[in-house]
Amino acid sequence: MAKKSASSESAADAAINRSLTPDDKIKLYREMVRIRRFEQVSLQHYQAGRMGGFLHLYIGQESVATGVVSLMGENDHIITAYRDHGHALAVGMTMNECMAELFGKGTGCSRGKGGSMHYFAPDKNYWGGHGIVAGQTPLGLGLAYGLKYRGLKGAALAFLGDGAVNQGAYHESLNIAELFDLPVIYVIENNGYSMGTSQARSSAFGNSLAERAAGYGIAWDTFSGEDIYEVRAHTHAAIERAHTECRPTVLEVKTYRWEGHSVADANKLKYRTKEEVELHQREHDPIQRWKRVLLDEGVCDEAELKKIDKAAQQEAEESAEFAKASAYPAPETIFEDVYWEVDQMTTAGLTGRHFFND
Amino acid sequence: MPRRITYRDALREAMDEELARDPMVVIMGEEVAQYNGAYKVTQGLWDKWGDKRIVDTPISEAGFIGMGIGASMLGVRPVMELMFWSFYTVAWDQIVNNAAMVRYMSGGKINCPIVIRGPANGGTSVGATHSHTPENIMASFPGMKCVVPATAYDAKGLLKAAIRDNDPVMFMESTKLYGEEWDVPANDELPGGELVIPLGVADIKRSGTDISLIAHGRAVITCLQAAEILEAEHGISAEVVDVRSIRPLDEETILDSVSRTHRAIYVEEGRPFCGVGAQIAYTIQSKLFDELDAPVLRVTSLDAPAIYSPPLEALQLPTPELVIEKALSIC
């Protein structure tokens, strides 16, 4: 059931990519640059001590979320793990709400209750942002179940990292996806390392991680995420399968994270070499690659792209100012958003004691 | 003659009525459909409602519970059976991190209208792995609700309310009660035309003046038996308070009872350490210290994993004799 990876040239010729207008192509560039600038600015403020917890950066992987999300239609839904900033911005969440969440402010997308790993925007079909490795994979299955139950033609795109493929919840999800014919697409973003453990040291596999899907009778595909044309061409086939056949797919996208597992990863240059990281930064940067495509195709000129870079940088810096200037949530909000019935002050929410503070 | 039905039938009626009321309600779990339920709670529902509404899942608790939680985010209302509540352990990450926490972590953008139901009891000689009573664990997580009905009447009314609730409800039954019968009026005998019991409302199962026996689940039945003997043989009038719902909790009814009787024992089939009784005893002493004529006591399962050996297991669980002994020690 596996398909051979299309070369970049043939990926560019795929109908789904030929249909891109120059504006669409520039938009893809803008989205990737916005994600990178947002994260670079967030890193500065993290290092300045303005944020708590962890910061898992997506830098180097931007083409994957951007490419996949660019294919999403009205009834396509997305869910991911804790490296979630890129997906959030790609679906249209604003830098302000995302940055403010990192600062723990009340204006954050989760009102300061979730932090970096827990961004959500159900109004944009974005269901998080999940902290436990592979914990989101059954939820993605459930989104697909919900779509099918409601008779909607859609797909649930459930992202996971290469470190998540050995969790039981993921395998249980694959089994049920096939048994119940659910339109879920598991997108393994394989950046080569599950925290500090390389793929070879963490996973038993033959040729690829996605190939495990064959054991469940699920279609699978593996390809490079460096070129957004490729991401779109391969993912489009999976979305078509979900829409027309109501069947699952496992996609494995080869990608690379430039930073550590999180910013707190002190060993980021111990489990891999500096040369390896630099090689990816120099020769496999998805943004630079797309930039070359745009210039080669004559979609726009360098000056225009510089303008986009500058605007993204400014937007990111402004979002940090917005976050700084925002207020922390009021202490009484600690007890909000725990129970729906309590928040809505329904009869059920007003019956019996829900909180036990004294 | 009032209608008498079993606890099992009451649960089935509740699901059947909610399936009819709301097309988004789906029953799912292991053996719930074609097999008619491991304990026959869902018997006949698949024949009546078919594949879309009554769904057999593989033995894959993390997978299907997580799937139900995900589906609930899109408006489906899954009622998921754990063949034994003991199996919560293999679905625990989905229950606690996803169902209970996703609303909070999303700043209130999401809610999970799910019910997870099944038996949670010891006393059937199935060993420690199948005898867990995790209501104290479930109730300790804000975001989750926890309900433990003791009678068929409560089982029906509480399950209907749980299915309508828009938060995740952990609903715990007892295999020892499934075959017991109680009065449960038919819908046409009820003023509102149906039986719905709000969560968070306790029920005085027996009025008394000398001591409050407070309990949940099957321990309520144990207390009622103890109360009869206390009255007949010792002239002690025991009030039996069934909390029914642990979270939300009806503290008012508990405190009102104890403020009249001035003595309280919490009885449960769970373990003592951090048990439900620990929380309630704390509340009673902190709010009614001056009203108490004796320390608040507890009767729980003996503090060891559930033993297999049938005669010993009977000693491990709360019995009317133990409740009477404790009551006599403070009355």
Q: pLDDT tens digits for A99-110? A: 999 999 999 999
Q: Are A190 and A209 in contact (CB under 8 A)?
A: yes
Is B23 inside a domain boundary? yes
Contact call for A172 and B71, based on CB within 8 A: no
Same domain assignment for residues B108 and B257: no
Chain A residues with CB under 8 Å of B199 CB are: 348, 351-352
Last residue of a domain, one of B189, B220, B249: B189
B56 contacts chain A (CB < 8 A):
no
> What are the structural domains of chain A?
8-327 (3.40.50.970)
Same domain assignment for residues B169 and B275: no
Same domain assignment for residues B165 and B299: no
Contact call for B143 and A129, based on CB within 8 A: no
Same domain assignment for residues B48 and B124: yes
Is B58 inside a domain boundary? yes
Same domain assignment for residues B141 and B58: yes
Which CATH number covers residue B131? 3.40.50.970
Same domain assignment for residues B115 and B156: yes
Is B194 inside a domain boundary? no
pLDDT of residue B74 exceeding 60: yes
pLDDT of residue B16 exceeding 80: yes
Q: Are A197 and A125 in contact (CB under 8 A)?
A: no
Is B196 inside a domain boundary? no
Neighbour count for residue B328 (Cβ, 10 Å) = 13
Chain A residues with CB under 8 Å of B52 CB are: 149
Summary mean pLDDT of chain B: 97
B103 contacts chain A (CB < 8 A):
yes
Q: Is B130 a catalytic residue?
A: yes
> Confidence class of residue B187 from pLDDT cuts 50, 70 and 90?
very high
Crossing angle of helices B61-73 and A168-179, rounded to 10°:
70
Same domain assignment for residues B108 and B225: no
b/e map B297-306, b = 16+ CB within 10 Å: bbbbbeeeeb
Number of alpha carbons in the 13 Å side-chain half-sphere of residue A65 = 30
Same domain assignment for residues B219 and B262: yes
Report pLDDT for A2. Answer: 45
Last residue of a domain, one of B189, B224, B250: B189
Residue of A nearest to B247 (CA): A354
Residue of B nearest to A118 (CA): B105
Q: Is B132 a catalytic residue?
A: no
Chain B residues with CB under 8 Å of A340 CB are: 103, 108, 111, 113, 166-167
The yes/no answer to whether this complex scores an ipTM above 0.95 is yes
Summary mean pLDDT of chain A: 96
Same domain assignment for residues B127 and B210: no
Of the candidates A132, A136, A176, the beta carbon closest to that of B64 is on: A176
Domain that holds residue B292: 203-330
B151 contacts chain A (CB < 8 A):
no
Question: DSSP secondary-structure letter at B267?
Answer: E
Of the candidates B24, B72, B105, the beta carbon closest to that of A114 is on: B105
Of the candidates A113, A123, A341, the beta carbon closest to that of B104 is on: A113
Is B80 inside a domain boundary? yes
Last residue of a domain, one of B143, B164, B189: B189
Same domain assignment for residues B33 and B157: yes
Of the candidates A111, A168, A352, the beta carbon closest to that of B107 is on: A111
Same domain assignment for residues B12 and B132: yes
Report pLDDT for A266. Answer: 85
A313 Ramachandran zone, left/alpha/beta (phi>0; psi -120 to 50): alpha
Same domain assignment for residues B158 and B11: yes
B299 Ramachandran zone, left/alpha/beta (phi>0; psi -120 to 50): beta
Is B248 inside a domain boundary? yes
Q: Structurally, how many domains does chain B consist of? A: 2
pLDDT of residue A6 exceeding 70: no
